[in-house]
Amino acid sequence: MKNSMIVAIMFSLVLMLGCQKEDDAVREVVSANPTAEEVLKGNQNLDIFQWEGVIYQANIDWVDALELTKKEQIGEIRRTFSEVKGFGDGDATRLPAGAKIFNVTGRGDVLIVDVGGETKHYLALIEG
């Protein structure tokens, strides 16, 4: 009697697991950093550039208010790009080609760009 009860319970469990709906399966959600196309979709006039696959945006009040120190030059803008398709590293919407890109002391999410002696702060648009 005890063995038949255990077999019945095991059989019921196997049946219940086999009847589980596909929608109940665990889903993996992957988030990605926004692309230039996604960022500019809401506002074509934004001042952005891309560096190492990350979009950086200027004219953010709290970022502009930060006291930042240039560390070292890590690159430069290669072209001003009006088309979103094909936007890649070194492309910018407003910065001229040759503008120098610097990392900063103490922050990994902000870069400084030097345009003819004037500096602008750019925040990395990173997803969660």
Domains of the chain and any CATH numbers:
26-125 (2.170.150)
**Which residue carries 């969660």 as its tokens?**
128
Distance in angstroms (rounded) separating the CA atoms of residues 52 and 60: 21
Q: What are phi and psi of 2, to 5 degrees?
A: -65, -45
Distance in angstroms (rounded) separating the CA atoms of residues 3 and 104: 71
Tokens for 28, please give them.
């993996």
CB 90 within 8 A of CB 27: no
- pLDDT tens for 50-108 read 999 999 999 999 999 999 999 999 999 999 987 767 889 999 999 999 999 999 999 99
* Mean pLDDT of the 4-12 span: 68
Q: What is the share, in percent, of the chain residues with pLDDT greater than 70?
A: 75
CB 102 within 8 A of CB 71: yes
**Which residue carries 């690159």 as its tokens?**
75
